[in-house]
Amino acid sequence: MAQGIVVVSIDQEIDGEGIVNVVIDQTEWARISARWLAETLGGQGDIVLIEGFVGHPANTARMNGVEEVLAEYPDINVVGRETGSWDQATGQQVMSDFLASLPNIDGVWTQDGMANGALTAIETADPETWPVLSGEARASYIQEWYNILQEDPDFKTIGVLNPPGVASDGLRVAVNLLLGREIDPEQLGGAYGNSLIVPIPYVVLDQEWTYTNSEDEEITLPDNFEEIYEQVKDEPAGYTLDGELTAEEVDAYFLPAE
């Protein structure tokens, strides 16, 4: 920046004068699946939390969102909380340990990067009653979700997108800045007031769900699972569902060009 280089941070918010962050709202991202989990459990039960790297900005934001939601549900008890380090194998081990020590878990809230491991642990242990699980929007998880539904149509989970396409959005923002465009100050927000918040593209669900978001807006999300499955059924396991802004949508973050 001291050399006049435009600095755009993607995915994670950085505090620094002149830096522009292009990110999703990680707190809202977590609120969505946490609220879905709480409502699916009928507002009561014992749950465990598997978080990412403790102290990482995104993990902190996400866990804040989870705690905000759970504060509204006093009959939901968090009986275990461990880090899975955003790693499938670690997430699987953590979930296996939970199942061994806490045999009556009603629900699991976890993040992308670990949900597939947690699901594998549940399948392996095969408890009499499976806990309700927050999932992820990756091909391997969607594929296994489909397989489980063929045997157990009552299986419940969700996938909230954390789009890799935010990188493309950040590139479009950087190009506009290099062309001399000015960001509309009213578009900036986030933890440090220097972020352009990219919408979460969509949520994967196998039944319609209506909820109230943090802005007290009623949101109805569609049943889109079959459609999404058809898109990813032949994709490699690491394929991640995505979304990105158009040039016109990025343009809306800027003041009108002179």
Per-residue pLDDT tens over the stretch 120-155: 999 999 999 999 999 999 999 999 999 999 999 999
Q: Give ∠ CA 50-135-34 in degrees, rounded to 5.
A: 65
- For the chain, what percent of residues have pLDDT higher than 70? 100
Q: Clarify whether residues 117 and 175 are in a common domain.
A: no
Q: Clarify whether residues 237 and 142 are in a common domain.
A: no
Task: Give the domain-ending residue among 125, 157, 189.
Answer: 157
Q: Clarify whether residues 98 and 147 are in a common domain.
A: yes
Q: Clarify whether residues 98 and 127 are in a common domain.
A: yes
User: Distance from CA of residue 181 to its chain's centroid?
Assistant: 31
Q: Clarify whether residues 50 and 112 are in a common domain.
A: yes
pLDDT at residue number 11: 87
Residue 258 within any structural domain of the chain: no
Buried/exposed 164-187: b ≥16 CB within 10 Å, e otherwise? ebbebbbebbbebbeeebebeeee
State the Cα–Cα distance between residues 241 and 204, nearest whole angstrom: 10
Residue 258, pLDDT > 80, answer no
- What is the number of structural domains in the chain? 2
Which candidate, 67, 63, 44, 39, places its Cα nearest to that of 52? 63
Q: Clarify whether residues 177 and 128 are in a common domain.
A: no
Length of the chain: 258
Q: What is the pLDDT of residues 75-122, one digit of tens each?
A: 999 999 999 999 999 999 999 999 999 989 999 999 998 999 999 999
Continuous H helices in the chain:
26-40, 57-70, 88-101, 115-125, 139-151, 166-178, 225-232, 247-251
Judged by DSSP in three states, 24 sits in: coil
CB neighbour list of residue 64: distance below 8 Å, 6 or more residues apart: 27, 30
Q: Clarify whether residues 41 and 151 are in a common domain.
A: yes
Residue 256 within any structural domain of the chain: no
Q: Clarify whether residues 110 and 43 are in a common domain.
A: yes
Find the domain containing 229 and state its range. Answer: 8-25+163-251
State the Cα–Cα distance between residues 54 and 57, nearest whole angstrom: 9
Give me the sign of the Cα torsion angle 240, 109, 50, 104.
negative
Q: Clarify whether residues 95 and 209 are in a common domain.
A: no
pLDDT at residue number 233: 97
**pLDDT-derived band at 1, boundaries 50, 70, 90:** confident
Task: Give the domain-ending residue among 122, 141, 157.
Answer: 157
Judged by DSSP in three states, 93 sits in: helix
Residue 119 within any structural domain of the chain: yes
Residue 131 within any structural domain of the chain: yes
Residue 169 CB-half CA count within 13 A: 27
Q: Clarify whether residues 122 and 104 are in a common domain.
A: yes
Which candidate, 137, 139, 159, places its Cα nearest to that of 221? 159
Residue 193 within any structural domain of the chain: yes
User: Distance from CA of residue 89 to its chain's centroid?
Assistant: 19
**pLDDT-derived band at 10, boundaries 50, 70, 90:** very high
Q: Clarify whether residues 33 and 122 are in a common domain.
A: yes
Task: Give the domain-ending residue among 112, 140, 157.
Answer: 157
Phi, psi of 132 (to 5 degrees): -75, 135
Residue 2 within any structural domain of the chain: no
Residue 86 within any structural domain of the chain: yes
Q: Clarify whether residues 153 and 168 are in a common domain.
A: no
